[in-house]
Structure 1
Amino acid sequence: MNDLSNCVFCRIVAGSEPASVIFEDDRLIAFMGIRPIRPGECMVIPKRHIDHFTDIDDETSQRIILVAQHIGRRIREVFKPQRVGMIVHGYGVPHAHLILVPQHDPYDITSARLAYLENGGISFGMKNLPFTDRVILDKHAQLLRIDNGSIR
């Protein structure tokens, strides 16, 4: 059962939270990240609330990778990054998700843009990453949209 009160991804699945959707079927939804490292960053999640990625059943995890491959190819066509990284780190939102990051240099995947100086040391966090306007996210989602029928 999805816990709509505590999980922003479950609220997106339910339609009570906005999202710039790239792909959706009966098991998955893919949408743009609201604080991307680079334009085109997005994620693929199971619709069912699952906290740990390793708890996703094999069939659904295979589907996530397949959908991510198709979206990754669109990211390469549209945003022209050198690479498209895929990350499962398990933090941020406690709902399993695979993040796709357009990489324009080798440090994008290690999130160099998350580093900042604080109290004489290097810290990491999202405080310096701006939120992206919904109009831009919707435009990027439209550019990356893939046809549900094209994925078997």
Structure 2
Amino acid sequence: MCIFCQIIAGEAEASFVHQDKLCVAFMNLRPINPGEFMVIPRAHIDHFTDLSDDLAAHIMLVAQRLGRHMQATLSPRRVGYVVHGFGVPHAHLNVVPLMHSNDIISGKHVQVHDTGFEVTLAGLAAPNRAELDAMAARLRLP
């Protein structure tokens, strides 16, 4: 069972922003900027492109509504939406508060070595559960 399925089953912790019968949204453990969260289907579907049109539209609508609330609450310059499909083999839409034009392809992800560079999460802050829960509470729709 993937970690996202464990979260949905209540077997792993998450800081939820939204829950309904089709999807959930919860805080990213290694956000590019504070407030980043992801929206995932409850059903285990690996590739975002394998979602039904109705489910993909529902996930985007949830992300859009939460993104508007993020804009009003956190005042980022932009709200970005990213589907890359890597990390966890369970479809997910990342919703990212953007402060700079390069936040999505962030230098925070890159470590330079003598022989080249490495893309890693090591440069991203890892908020503790209390911080994640507090941010999730701020981002929930009233």
- TM-score, with structure 2 as normaliser: 0.96
Query: CA deviation digits over 1:14-40, x for unaligned, max 9?
Result: 001000001001110000001100000
| Residue aligning to 2:125 | 130
| Residue aligning to 2:57 | 62
| Among 117, 141, 145, the residue aligned to 2:136 | 141
| Residue aligning to 2:15 | 20
Off by >6 Å, runs of 4+ in structure 1: none
Supply the RMSD in Å over aligned alpha carbons.
1.0
| Among 81, 94, 101, the residue aligned to 1:86 | 81
How many angstroms does 1:112 deviate by? 2.1
How many angstroms does 1:79 deviate by? 1.3
Matched residue type, 2:51: I
Query: Aligned to 1:143, what secondary structure does the other structure show?
Result: helix
Gaps of 5+ in 2: none
- TM-score, with structure 1 as normaliser: 0.90
Query: Aligned to 1:43, what secondary structure does the other structure show?
Result: strand
| Residue aligning to 2:29 | 34
How many angstroms does 1:122 deviate by? 2.3
How many angstroms does 1:50 deviate by? 0.3
